[in-house]
Structure 1
Amino acid sequence: MATNSNISPTAPKNHERRVEISDHEFLVNSLENSDDEENFKLKKELGLMDGVGIIVGIIIGSGIFVSPKGVIQFSGSVGMSLVVWVISGMLSTVGALCYAELGTMIPRSGGDYAYVLEAFGPLPAFLFMWVALTIILPTSNTVMALTFANYIIKPFFETCDVLPDIPVRLIAAVVVCLLTWVNCTNVKWAKNVQGIFTMAKICALMLIIGTGIQQLAAGNTQNYQGAFEGTNWSLSSISTAFYQGLFSFAGWNCLNFVVEELKDPFKTLPRAILISMPIVTLVYFLTNMAYFAVLDPDEVLASSAVALSFAGYVLGSLKYVMPIFVALSTFGSLNGCIFACSRLFFVGAREGHLPQALALINVNTFTPMPALIVLGFLTLCMLFTSDTLVLINYVSFSESLFVMMSIAALLYLRYTQPYRHRPIKVWLWVVVLFFLVCVFLVVLPVIERPMELGIAIGIFLAGIPVYVLCVRRSHKSNKFRDFMGSFTSVCQMLCHGLPEEKND
């Protein structure tokens, strides 16, 4: 939401920086932590392994521990479900490579927002920002926080079929506040948390895979006899099975949200994708093979949490470890999403589509503190319900729609700017194939859940009058400008923040 602020991003070259805030002045000292005092901005602190940790850590959340039920339900057989997992991984890798081309061609943080803005202009980009602000980001984070809370207290309520609602929501709120504080305090803390919990979830999956291999070696292969018998070959069933599988790979585009904080993004972004996506695909495939070495399809269908049912059969007294592992997995995913997604709000504010206060950087920690706090607040607001299925329905359609728009932007820029520098260029037929997959992912849910997705579309269209009033015509209202200027000044003092300095 554009405002004319009296905050000057320029500064003297010595160790003191004076900032005008309405009628007040405060002095910001000792910026020696900055790599370049003349260029105050988010620091490039993410290397190759940090990028791999972010992608793997966000993708591997709660999905692989619970979602195999949906894949087997609609695929109908063990063999076809494994095929679905492999092809879902391959399609997600193709999508990630398309985003690698976009991210190296348009090396700005913000992911889909930056690409839609570049190709189609401010209104479509604002609508993406609007939906991300109201639905996608806070809702996705809420789902992960609730999943963490459900699993962390599950060992204490083993005999209860339904967990108590209030404690679950309180724990979810606490973890959102904790991770928001970590990300506000230090980028290195955030990436260290991401690395530690990524290793924890890999250990959990290695435990499942190792146990499954042991079971297969002992001759428990009965579930693989006639692996494709009972396959649902109808188009609607197979397509829904793929939808379930692809949903579990969500997050493959997360590194594009923080491109400006990558060291050497032209090399780091594609390399991180090429390392992490095969790892996730292989881990998902082996994990599902392990599940079917112990559980038959009927047992998987009867289970609300496949990993817990698996642990109950083969781990004995160690079965109580699995809920903790699942909780740690979602904790790491939530941390990665908070880190990456807050940068979207930061970039949107920098472009004038959100209040300028969200484009402030804390002078001590070099983190976008106001954007992080707003994201945390919106996530807490979503805790009015603990029904994760309802929340997921709103998110999945919105995410698919804007991935489709980003791939459309890639095709559009290929046509309108054929000679633009592209450090990575994906084969055109691959881009077209993935675009068709995105169209399918948008159309199918509309047919299956028209009521819920009608509400999501209504929220999307509601962004148009907001754009007209708060962005296009904001400069015509002196009262609105004065209010937003005062709001930015207050946020600047409370968060000890400065706007980013632009390169000359």
Structure 2
Amino acid sequence: MSGRAANGRPRSSENGDVRSEGGDHKTVKLQRKITLMNGVAIIVGTIVGSGIFVSPAGVYTGTKSVGFSIIIWCLSGMFSMLGALCYAELGCAVTRSGGDYAYIFVAFGPLGAFLMLWVSLLIIRPTTQAIVAITFAEYAAKPFFPECRPPENAIRLLAAVCLCLLTAVNCLSVRWAMRIQSVFTYAKISALIAIILAGVYHVSSGHTENFRNSFDGHYDLPQIALSFYSGLFAFGGWNFLNFVTEELQDPYKNLPRAIWIALPLVTGIYVLANVAYFAVLSGVEIESSAAVALTFGMRMFGTLTWIVPVFVSLSTFGGVNGILFTSSRLFLTGSQEGHLPQLFSFIHVKRNTPIPSLIFTCITSLMMLLISDVFVLINYYGQILWLSNAACIAGLLWMRRTQPDLPRPIRIHTSIPYIFLLCCAFIVIFPIPTQPWNTVIGLVITLSGIPVYYLCIAWKNKPEGYHKFIRSITRYVQYMFEVTNPETTQSLLQS
């Protein structure tokens, strides 16, 4: 018997799928609601988080040079642009959502893709979301505690509220989530423009002493590589639009357009913001500051210093929204390929939002808030993250050889992926002598996914009790959230 239950929820069929009134499957799938400007807002809003407000100290520490620090910011933007161009070709050739996971799957097969998904599931995504949420909470609470640091429990509670609120918005409507992303993107760009204008005013008043002997400093390759880590951390998120290509309108045109608009815009603003920082603060002041923007605000805005933490909290709030939105699509695609439980691929029958995947993303991020020093985890996957990016670009070159007939509306010059791979090698290899244990732990976490893959994915003849248990949980989730399997999407292996 099909139709609706007494409580008004869709009934489940024998195989667990929600059916419509007449017994036919409802055509439910992710909708293309993301416009070009929404795509630009996702890239800019995800990149511009806490990094530009705190990373300048890390960039300067590695070089002790004002001039070379600004060059590193320029090169970090150019490097991100090269990677984004490579991802534009990948995103137009493999149009499924999922980003890195989808590209590694098509290029190198399911095991490599699962390992990437495993690291993202276990550490990268929830840790990143937790860190940005904590940064939001710290700065949002700072105006209420001007003389001291806000209480730790208050920070974590506010971070949890931020994650839950944005999860609810993303569950209710894609358009609402995009509206939040756009509004907060404009707010954070306005904040950086205010910093730039304050720096211009300071320089125009004759304060140029901090730019004398700009290129005096220390030029040690491992330290320069670590400086790039700080700079590239601030550019993190340049490839996040690739995680939602199934919801992007006209992706063949709008994906590269969004990249061409967003990356030069962010690079220009970042470089000018750092020039403003150096115009007002000395290298020693920047190096010793845990929050450069706050120190800058105390110097330039006087009694209005409280406005800086408000700006940073707005910036990070939008960053959490962008990471949450794209993370849920990554897990949804992994579920559709059988690498996560089926219920993570379900979407709401009316709102077309991946509610189970969003809630799972929120829960894992909330769990990270319970760790006393969540920032330590970020060091364990920095190199693994860049290895993942390098694997995607290597996959681009490999697919050109093994799948020459794959449609490529965009085909970048062959030199670009090779330059990107050389830069990745520099970033990954040179810091190893200074932080070998981070490399070892990152590799151990990644390789721990191999037995999980063969036990949970490759092993097909599992006991019937296991399947019965999974089906019962799936049906319960369907009834609770009114979600169903989306319209069948072509497998990545057939893309």
What TM-score range do you get, normalising by the shorter chain?
over 0.9
Q: Give the direction of change, closer, same or farther, for the CA distance of 1:170–1:73 in structure 2 (3 Å limit).
A: same
Aligned equivalents of 1:246, 1:276: Cα separation in 2: 15
Q: Give the direction of change, closer, same or farther, for the CA distance of 1:47–1:24 in structure 2 (3 Å limit).
A: closer
Aligned equivalents of 2:280, 2:65: Cα separation in 1: 15
Q: What is the correspondence of 1:181-260 to structure 2 with a 5 Å cutoff?
A: 181-229=168-216, 231-260=217-246
- Report deviation, 1:24: 8.6
For 2:342, give the aligned amino acid.
Answer: Q
- Report deviation, 1:27: 6.1
Aligned equivalents of 1:475, 1:121: Cα separation in 2: 21
Q: What is the correspondence of 1:401-420 to structure 2 with a 5 Å cutoff?
A: 401-420=387-406
Unpaired segments of 5 or more residues in structure 1? Answer: 1-7, 31-36
In the TM superposition, what whole-angstrom CA distance separates every residue of 1:336-381 from its partner, at most 9, and x where no partner exists?
1101110000000001000000000101211000000000000000
In the TM superposition, what whole-angstrom CA distance separates every residue of 1:263-287 from its partner, at most 9, and x where no partner exists?
0000010000000000000000000
Residues 1:179 and 2:166 are matched in the alignment: yes
Aligned equivalents of 2:100, 2:18: Cα separation in 1: 36
Q: Give the direction of change, closer, same or farther, for the CA distance of 1:89–1:24 in structure 2 (3 Å limit).
A: closer
Residues 1:325 and 2:311 are matched in the alignment: yes
Aligned equivalents of 2:89, 2:20: Cα separation in 1: 39
TM-score for the superposition, normalised by structure 1: 0.92
Equivalence for 1:33: none
Equivalence for 2:38: 50
In the TM superposition, what whole-angstrom CA distance separates every residue of 1:201-247 from its partner, at most 9, and x where no partner exists?
01110110010011111111111122112x22222222221222111
Equivalence for 2:493: none
TM-score for the superposition, normalised by structure 2: 0.93
Q: What is the correspondence of 1:119-134 to structure 2 with a 5 Å cutoff?
A: 119-134=107-122
Aligned residues with identical type, % of pairs: 47
Alpha carbons 1:342, 1:368 under 8 Å: kept: yes
Q: Which moved more, 1:243-252 or 1:266-275?
A: 243-252
Q: What is the correspondence of 1:238-387 to structure 2 with a 5 Å cutoff?
A: 238-387=224-373
Alpha carbons 1:39, 1:502 under 8 Å: kept: no
Aligned equivalents of 2:369, 2:438: Cα separation in 1: 18
Residues 1:83 and 2:71 are matched in the alignment: yes
Aligned equivalents of 1:220, 1:168: Cα separation in 2: 38
- Report deviation, 1:249: 0.5
Match of 2:88 among 100, 109, 112: 100
Alpha carbons 1:350, 1:356 under 8 Å: kept: yes
Alpha carbons 2:82, 2:420 under 8 Å: kept: yes
Secondary structure of the residue that 2:369 maps to in structure 1? helix
Give the aligned CA root-mean-square deviation in angstroms.
Answer: 2.1
Alpha carbons 2:202, 2:279 under 8 Å: kept: yes
Alpha carbons 1:22, 1:486 under 8 Å: kept: no
Alpha carbons 2:192, 2:269 under 8 Å: kept: yes
Q: What is the correspondence of 1:16-55 to structure 2 with a 5 Å cutoff?
A: 20-22=12-14, 28=20, 39-55=27-43
Matched positions, count? 483
Residues 1:460 and 2:446 are matched in the alignment: yes
- Report deviation, 1:136: 0.7
- Report deviation, 1:483: 1.6
Alpha carbons 1:407, 1:435 under 8 Å: kept: yes
Q: Give the direction of change, closer, same or farther, for the CA distance of 1:23–1:466 in structure 2 (3 Å limit).
A: closer
Match of 2:55 among 50, 67, 72: 67
Aligned equivalents of 1:404, 1:448: Cα separation in 2: 21
Unpaired segments of 5 or more residues in structure 2? Answer: 491-495
- Report deviation, 1:23: 9.2
